[in-house]
Chains A and B, each alone.
Chain A
Amino acid sequence: MLEVKKVYKTYPKAGKGFRKERLSVLADVSFQIHAGDWAALVGESGSGKSTLSRLILGLEKADSGSLLLEGENPAAWRKEKRGQMSVVFQDYTSSANPAFQIKDIIMEPLKAFSRNHPIQETAESLMEKVGLSKELAERYPHELSGGQLQRVCIARAISTKPKFLVLDEAVSSLDVSVQAQILDLLDTLKKEMDMTCLFIAHDLQTVAYLCNQVMFLNEGKIVEQIETKNLANVQSAYAKRLLEAVVRFRVE
């Protein structure tokens, strides 16, 4: 479904006079995600995860290399198949237009694309799906808690039944108990819906629960790609280190 080949991305460094120095963020990134897979992208802050997700979403262009979604450039793919690509961002506070009511936020993509497929879902049914009570439909985003708002974002993201979903640290900024709820929710959605998902996270616990593939990104390079069930046999030093951190935490 998604094929990433030898992708490089650099950003201009700020404050270095007239000389154009560039900061390399991604270097020679290659991987594949098959249709129906839930793949996790794990790495520390600053490893280039978010940049990679922006490239995959077609919000930015890579310096070189190719990113292909079903053989097409992501920006073209999403324009052709409106509503088939979706995303949930880490920062839920700016993910919803503060002037809109919750029901309008959730229904926005669905209403706009209803020409392609008749509206089956309503704001209520979507809110029920993500475990939000109906009373919240008339509220504004700033009147909701973080967990509730992130659910709104998930409801909006799945409303058009996307084929390809990117969860960009979708649970990272929530507290642990809410994280668990959201992960359960995503698990049920995974079973109900037929979609490919790229789950970006910085800790292993959250992704091991949901994904069948794990990719480790370190300093702009994919250091290892492995199936979740084989996670114990990781080869690279970086992946081992991450894994050990988890184990040690569990023992204590």
Chain B
Amino acid sequence: MGGLNKLMRDRSAMICIIFLTLVVLAGIFAPWLAPHSPIDVNVKEKLAGISTTYPLGTDQLGRCIFSRLLYGIRTTVFIAFITMIVTIVIGTLIGGIAGLFRGKIDEIIMRICDVFMSFPSEVMILAIIGMMGPGLTNIVIASIIAKWAWYTRMVRSIIIKYADKNYIQFARVSGFSRWHIFKKHIMPNTVGEISVLATLDAGSVILMISALSFLGLGVQAPTPEWGMMLNEAKNVMTIYPELMLAPGIAILVVVAAFNFLGDSLQDAFNVKRGKRGKRMR
């Protein structure tokens, strides 16, 4: 509870939370908010500047950039969320089993993780997409496969860090059940740290999905996606470079918001660090 209070008082964290909530809401209500269809081509109006009909202008096919940005939230941000959630669930389950039960099962899981982590994740993703073909579901699956081992390791190390604490030893000695110890002592601490991890990583997942779409491996045209939009803007870079600004800035701002929020969460959930920080100020 102390962590939440601290978060409420942290101005930059609140700004990030409000901003990200607005982004998500804009994505959900895109059909109502968008002034135009994101895919309808209108060549007569191509590369229009900012105007009341086209708040951010149009691209080389005359599509409304603002509408495409709004619909792009649905692909870029939501796909990133789905990837994150699935990875975290897998990582927490497997990492939790490894960290709580230790012994042989831990050893086996960790060696499998080692194998997965010995490939550079970008190369692995490219290889998986190369095999399964480009497409939205495939990049989600590829990034989950590339990431789960890292999460499993992190969750395991967090759990082990707490399992060695004296208060858990004390609880074991007093005869508390494993479940009680897990519920009261291990879980509350780990949930905080895992959410910090996830928030810090959300930005990089968005970047990764955008990057893959930029390379033409992820979302396929004409579906609006921020990395895809950058890719299209690249084609007219010499005659109309401003086209790259809108999707580029959108990616930058959302990723930055996630990273700032992750930092604040880290401060909020770390009791001792918060105390030291106060003294320094």
A-to-B contact residues, CB < 8 Å: 57-59, 78-79, 81-87, 89, 91-92, 94-99, 105, 108-109, 112-113, 140, 142, 153, 156-157, 160, 166
Contact = CB atoms under 8 A, between A and B. Distances in A.
A86 B272 contact: no
Contacts of A78: 173-175
B178 to A, nearest CB: 11
Given A112-B180, A142-B271, A142-B272, A97 B175 contact: no
B271 A59 contact: no
A89 B169 contact: yes
A58 B174 CA distance: 11
Interface of B: 2, 165-167, 169-176, 180, 184-185, 188-189, 271-272, 275
Nearest to B165: A94
A108 B170 CA distance: 11
Given A98-B271, A142-B272, A156 B173 contact: no
A91 B166 contact: yes
Contacts of B271: 98-99, 140, 142
A81 B169 contact: no
B173 A86 contact: yes
A95 B174 contact: no
A157 B171 CA distance: 10
Given A78-B173, A82-B174, A91-B166, 17 more contacts: A58-B173, A78-B174, A81-B175, A84-B175, A85-B174, A86-B174, A94-B166, A95-B166, A95-B167, A97-B167, A105-B167, A109-B174, A112-B176, A140-B2, A153-B170, A157-B170, A166-B173
6 contacts: A82-B176, A94-B166, A97-B167, A99-B188, A142-B271, A166-B173
A95 B173 CA distance: 12
A231 to B, nearest CB: 30
| B interface secondary structure, majority | helix
Contacts of B188: 99
Contacts, number: 68
B184 to A, nearest CB: 8
Contacts of B167: 94-97, 105
A89 B166 contact: yes
A77 to B, nearest CB: 9
Contacts of A84: 175
Contacts of B172: 59
A221 to B, nearest CB: 25
A85 B175 CA distance: 8
A109 B170 CA distance: 10
A87 B169 contact: yes
Among B167, B169, B174, B275, chain A packs the most CB atoms within 10 A around the CB of: B174
A156 B185 CA distance: 16
A89 B170 contact: yes
A99 B174 contact: no
A237 to B, nearest CB: 35
User: Interface centre among A83, A86, A108, A142, by most B CB within 10 Å?
Assistant: A108
Contacts of A112: 176, 180
Nearest to A96: B167
Nearest to A109: B174
Contact of B175 (A83, A95, A98, A99): A83
Contacts of A108: 171, 184
Nearest to A110: B174
A86 B175 CA distance: 9
Contacts of A97: 165, 167, 184-185
Given A59-B169, A89-B170, A79 B185 contact: no
